[in-house]
Structure 1
Amino acid sequence: MSILARYFSKSDLDEIKTAVGEAESKTSAEIVPYFAESSHHYKEWVWFAAFLLGGVFGSAFYTIQTLYGIVWGGESFFAILSVWIGAVIGLTIATVFPKIRISLVSRNAKQYFVDLRAKEAFLDEEVFRTKSRTGILIYISFYEHFVRVLPDKEIARVVPKSEWSEAVRLIIEGMKSGKKKEGIVSSILFCGDLLKKYNIQREKDDKNEISNEIRDGGKLM
């Protein structure tokens, strides 16, 4: 199942696509919505889970032995074995359950991978491929709950970076309240109004240079 079909109904996608057309009708900009289930696989963190649970099992073995004075016979062997058992369990859990794995990842690491993937998506989708360099990528990464708005250089030159925070907020609030589609539509329409405010005018010979279709970033985890 595609990302789009998993998170949205066909009518939801149609409304988002219509919002893109409506926003673009006010300006010469091209708005590209891009949805990714995750921005990285985070498989490196399975080793952290192994280390973490190995430490927990080893500490538990040592605590039980110390508190209760239990003599196992070959304590060193059992201590090492407990660490290995914990490590294998941690490795297995983090591999099988991506949501547990991602919960171990720091916010800064998530931001790094989201920023990196958003920039890659900007290039992959050729958002820069407009006559006046007026493309905008709206990048949404569902697992990380992060949103990025990347304007091309002509829009970035005119519109202050701080202005895009409202576009991000609308999407985040929509996700938190269970109204993903409504938040995305509101954000796209806001972008159209914002560009109009900063006089990114629709030109007389304006053409739809980039398709209004919503991009499916696929699943990395």
Structure 2
Amino acid sequence: MLFNDTDRARIAAAIAAAEATTAGEIVVIISTRAHRYTATMLAAAVLAAFVLPFIAVLAGWTPSLLVPDWDALDAATRERRGIEGFAAVQALVFVGALALVAGLRLDRALTPRGLRRDRVHHAAIMQFRARGLTATQGRTGVLLYLDEAEHVAEVIADEAVFARVAAEDWGETIGALIAGIKAGRAADGLVAAIERAGAVLAAHLPPRADDVNELPDALIEL
């Protein structure tokens, strides 16, 4: 677990302090769950099932090793049994490769980093919608999303914030999130990121006279 009760209290206090200076609504979510990449596992197993048997044939393997009395069979039966044997070997290789990749959790290492980042981005968007950040009065919701397993941070902003704040203005916020995780000080990184996000929002969206706290300040852990 990355956070204790003291850390959670610090993070909630940092969110409250940042929101006191802006009309923006900040939500912080951290995901510590490891991703499984099913498509990668299946692709690796399929590739192994197609390539390895062909390599075995080129190396001298023949269906006669699987079929008793191979030399006594007629040509048509040999052809049929050969196809059946090759298909059986492919099936066994597929199952074995799938079990190996899944058991050793190689799917993450075999998945390109760009695809892993896309998975994190999709998860952040889903949480942004699910947590009500699109339903604030002034459309000023901002999500700070950190995927601990992938060391990837996302800042997702609703319409009013997106229209006023350039994407590059979130650079220091994202940098603080990543630096905190890499240094093993996740709570410090989140507090620093929240303070930076609050400063960005305060510069573009000052607090309104009728401003209320519409979203919870507590850290959300997945």
TM-score using structure 1 length:
0.79
2:139 is aligned to 133
Q: Partner amino acid for 1:21?
A: A
Number of aligned residue pairs? 206
Q: 2:118 aligns with which of 109, 112, 123?
A: 112
Q: Which runs of 5+ in 1 are unaligned?
A: 1-5
Question: CA 1:49/1:28 → structure 2, altered by over 3 Å: closer, same or farther?
Answer: same
Identity across the alignment (%): 24
1:206 is aligned to 211
Distance in 2, matches of 1:202 and 1:186, equals: 21
Q: Partner amino acid for 2:31?
A: A
Deviates more, 1:6-15 or 1:74-83: 74-83
Structure 1 residue 56: Cα displacement: 6.9
Distance in 1, matches of 2:145 and 2:126, equals: 11
Distance in 1, matches of 2:16 and 2:201, equals: 14
Distance in 1, matches of 2:9 and 2:108, equals: 31
Distance in 2, matches of 1:174 and 1:52, equals: 39
Q: Partner amino acid for 1:115?
A: H
Q: Which runs of 5+ in 2 are unaligned?
A: 67-81
The answer as to whether partners of 1:32 and 1:214 remain within 8 angstroms in 2 is yes
The answer as to whether partners of 2:11 and 2:218 remain within 8 angstroms in 1 is no
Secondary structure of the residue aligned to 2:106 is: helix
1:15 is aligned to 10
Q: Partner amino acid for 2:131?
A: E
Distance in 1, matches of 2:132 and 2:180, equals: 27
Is 1:90 aligned with 2:85?
Answer: no
Structure 1 residue 51: Cα displacement: 2.9
The answer as to whether partners of 2:148 and 2:181 remain within 8 angstroms in 1 is no
Is 1:174 aligned with 2:180?
Answer: yes
RMSD: 2.7
1:162 is aligned to 168
Distance in 2, matches of 1:71 and 1:51, equals: 21
The answer as to whether partners of 2:24 and 2:142 remain within 8 angstroms in 1 is yes
Is 1:36 aligned with 2:34?
Answer: no
Distance in 2, matches of 1:115 and 1:81, equals: 40
Distance in 2, matches of 1:40 and 1:157, equals: 32
Is 1:74 aligned with 2:65?
Answer: yes
Structure 1 residue 78: Cα displacement: 8.0
Distance in 2, matches of 1:89 and 1:178, equals: 37
User: 1:118-172: CA deviations, max 9, x gaps?
Assistant: 1111110011222211110111122332211011111111111111122111111
Q: 1:183 aligns with which of 164, 174, 189?
A: 189
